[in-house]
Structure 1
Amino acid sequence: MNDANSVRNGPQPPAPGGVLWSLVGDIRTLLTLPAALTMQVAHPAVGAGVDEHSVFRTDPWGRGERSLVSLQQWVYGGEDAAEEGRRLRRLHKTIQGTDAHGRTYHALTPAHYAWVHATGYPVFRHGQRYLGRPFTEAQERQLYAEWLQVGRVLGINDRDMPQTIEEFWPYYRKMLDNEIEETAVVRELISTDRPVPPPDRGPRWLRLLLRFAWPVILPRFLRFRRFVTIGLMPPDARRAIGLEWTDAQERRLRRFGRVVRVVVPVLPERLRFMPMARRARRAARASLGTKRV
Structure 2
Amino acid sequence: MSTSSARDVDPVPPPPGGVLWGISGDIRALLMLPAAFTLQVAHPAVAAGVDEYSVYRTDPWGRGERSLRSLQLWVYGGEEAAVEGRRLRRLHRTVRGVDGRGRRYHALSPATYAWVHATGFPVYQHAARYLLRPLTEAQERALYREWLQVGRVLGINDRDMPQTIEEFWPYFHRTLAEEIERTVVVEDLIATDRPVPPPDRGPWPLRPVLRALWPVLLPPLARFRRFVTIGLMPPDAREAIGLEWTDAQERRLRRLGAVVRWVVPVLPERLRYLPYARRARAAHRTAVVGEQAPGRPGPGTPIRPV
Query: Per the shorter chain, which TM-score range?
Result: over 0.9
1:1-293 equivalences in 2 (<5 Å): 9-289=9-289, 290=300
Structure 1 residue 8: Cα displacement: 8.8
CA distance in 1, matches of 2:84, 2:31: 23
SS in 1 for 2:97: strand
The one-letter amino acid of 2:104's match is T
Contact 2:89 2:154 in 1 (8 A): yes
Runs of 5+ in structure 2 lacking a partner? 290-299
The one-letter amino acid of 1:40's match is Q
CA distance in 1, matches of 2:71, 2:7: 18
Change in 2 beyond 3 A, CA 1:253/1:89: same
CA distance in 2, matches of 1:14, 1:101: 37
Q: Deviations over 1:239-290 (max 9, x none)?
A: 0000000000000000000000000011110000001101000000000114
Aligned to 2:297: none
CA distance in 1, matches of 2:163, 2:239: 26
SS in 1 for 2:129: helix
The one-letter amino acid of 2:57's match is R
CA distance in 1, matches of 2:206, 2:97: 39
Q: Name whichever of 6-15 and 272-281 sits farther off.
A: 6-15
CA distance in 2, matches of 1:32, 1:6: 36
CA distance in 2, matches of 1:161, 1:118: 8
Contact 2:49 2:96 in 1 (8 A): yes
Change in 2 beyond 3 A, CA 1:94/1:247: same
Root-mean-square deviation over aligned CA pairs: 1.4
Contact 2:144 2:165 in 1 (8 A): yes
Count of residues paired in the alignment = 289
The one-letter amino acid of 1:62's match is G
CA distance in 1, matches of 2:151, 2:101: 28
Contact 1:47 1:184 in 2 (8 A): yes
Q: Name whichever of 8-17 and 83-92 sits farther off.
A: 8-17
The one-letter amino acid of 1:248's match is A
CA distance in 1, matches of 2:170, 2:275: 37
Contact 1:230 1:238 in 2 (8 A): yes
Contact 1:13 1:149 in 2 (8 A): yes
CA distance in 2, matches of 1:225, 1:67: 17
Sequence identity percentage: 73
Structure 1 residue 102: Cα displacement: 1.1
CA distance in 2, matches of 1:60, 1:219: 16
Contact 1:40 1:46 in 2 (8 A): yes
Q: Deviations over 1:52-107 (max 9, x none)?
A: 00000010000000000000000000011001000000000000011111111000
CA distance in 1, matches of 2:169, 2:7: 33
User: Radius of gyration: which is bigger?
Assistant: 2
Contact 1:32 1:123 in 2 (8 A): yes
Q: Name whichever of 200-209 and 232-241 sits farther off.
A: 200-209
CA distance in 2, matches of 1:255, 1:30: 18
CA distance in 2, matches of 1:207, 1:88: 30
Structure 1 residue 9: Cα displacement: 2.4
SS in 1 for 2:287: helix
Structure 1 residue 291: Cα displacement: 5.4
Contact 2:132 2:261 in 1 (8 A): yes
Give 4+ residue runs of structure 1 displaced > 4 Å after superposition.
5-8
Structure 1 residue 42: Cα displacement: 0.1
Runs of 5+ in structure 1 lacking a partner? none
TM-score, normalised with respect to structure 1: 0.97
Structure 1 residue 6: Cα displacement: 11
Contact 2:16 2:302 in 1 (8 A): no
CA distance in 2, matches of 1:270, 1:72: 16
